[in-house]
Amino acid sequence: MIDWLWITLLFLIGVRLSFFFSGIETAFYRASRLRLNIDAQTGDVPSKRILRFVADPSQFVATILIGNNLANYVTTCAIGYGAIQAFGNLSEAVEVGVTVLISPVIFIFGELLPKTLHYRAPLLMLKRNFLFFQMVHVLLLPFSWPLMLLTRIFQSVGGARQQPMLRILGRRPLANVIGHGRDEGIVTEVQHNLMQGVFVNANKPLESLVIPAEIAFSFEDELTHATLLKHSRDYGLADIAIATMTEDSTEVDYFRVSDLLLTRGPLQDIRRPMPSLQLKTSRLEALLILQEHDADLGAVFDGEELIGIVRRSALAETLYQGSLSLSAAAL
């Protein structure tokens, strides 16, 4: 009776080890590297531990390889001892028959079930079990270290180099990362569409958004509060662009109607300069320049020639409309 208890215990230990190593291997390769990076940067300790192995996968692979073999050895020993206990001396036919009968149990509980569970919730299962994996890694290090050393030798001979987890991304890889972030729940649908809208419209030129100079700089009366406010009412403007021509250059400024309504002091105190933009400047770059100067309007030049103005609201709207177009296309 005691022998059967030991055999059963040995068999359960073997299946449990197989469950652990099979499951954590699936979770390791299934888990989102992007999510691990973000969690690690927010101070999540399990994510930091996992990333050490992600940076050098040979440590993980060597431990898993030895762990799986250990689990298989323990399970095989339990089956062999159980068969001997039940049938005495084994023939080849009996040994094969016992193995075939027990294999479905090992496959279901030691391979299929853990892989399914860890595939469905990889990050949760990986973080939950990784501390135990690290303990096993340390225990098996005398056996796994030669395998890791051999892997590094092959890497050096083959010219393979470990890549940093975070790198500067080009447009297409960055777009893929953002899409991956939406799939992982890191980026909301609105954020995803807005960023995709930026990609669609960011590099387009300013030309189609420029208000021509003859229309933008239509104010020609004397500069007073009353004339400026009358001009804003007549044309429905929130900002009034002013161009002052000199022999050497053209000075462009603007007044906010809100400042005119709230301030009765000298106009010079509320006169705002316009940042200069070249016609070839991209929409995103122009928006960033206006944001940096906290300016609602920018003066657009083609070389030294004043072409017109562009509104910050129009630049932002084009990027947002790009995201709306993507949302509509998705629907």
- Secondary structure of the chain in HEC code, one letter for each residue: CHHHHHHHHHHHHHHHHHHHHHHHHHHHHHCCHHHHHHHHHCCCHHHHHHHHHHHCHHHHHHHHHHHHHHHHHHHHHHHHHHHHHHHCCCCHHHHHHHHHHHHHHHHHHHHHHHHHHHHHCHHHHHHHHHHHHHHHHHHCHHHHHHHHHHHHHHHHHHCCCCCCCCCCCCHHHHHHHHHHHHHCCCCCHHHHHHHHHHHHHCCCECHHHCEEHHHHCCCCCCCCHHHHHHHHHHHCCCEEEEEEECCCCEEEEEEEHHHHHHCCCCHHHHCEECCEEECCCEHHHHHHHHHHHCCCEEEEEECCEEEEEEEHHHHHHHHHHHHHHHHHHHC
How much is the average pLDDT of 70-93?
82
How much is the average pLDDT of 122-135?
92
User: CA–CA separation, 331 vs 321, rounded Å?
Assistant: 15
Laid out side by side, the sheet with 272-273 consists of: 239-245, 250-256, 272-273
Confidence of residue 170 (pLDDT cuts 50, 70, 90): very low
Query: Residue 103: what pLDDT?
Result: 86
pTM over 0.95: no
How much is the average pLDDT of 290-300?
93
Flag whether pLDDT at 167 surpasses 60: no
Residue percentage of the chain with pLDDT more than 90: 38
Query: Residue 165: what pLDDT?
Result: 44
44 or 173, higher pLDDT: 44
Q: Is residue 188 packed enough to be buried (19+ CB in 10 Å), middle (13-18) or exposed (0-12)? A: exposed
Query: Residue 32: what pLDDT?
Result: 81
Query: Residue 180: what pLDDT?
Result: 64
297-302 and 276-278 beta bridge pairing: parallel
Residue 122 · residue 91 · CB < 8 Å? no
Average pLDDT taken over every residue of the chain: 83
Chain segment 9-68, per-residue pLDDT in tens = 999 999 999 999 999 999 999 888 878 887 888 888 999 999 989 888 888 989 999 999
Flag whether pLDDT at 166 surpasses 50: no
Q: Hey, what domains does the chain have and what are their CATH numbers? A: 2-158 (no CATH), 171-201 (no CATH), 207-326 (3.10.580.10)
Query: Residue 102: what pLDDT?
Result: 87
Query: Residue 200: what pLDDT?
Result: 67
Sequence-distant (6+) residues with CB within 8 A of 77 are 10, 14
State the amino acid at position 94 in one-letter form. V
Chain segment 234-265, per-residue pLDDT in tens = 999 999 999 887 777 778 999 999 999 998 88
Flag whether pLDDT at 124 surpasses 60: yes
Residue percentage of the chain with pLDDT more than 70: 81
Query: Residue 221: what pLDDT?
Result: 86
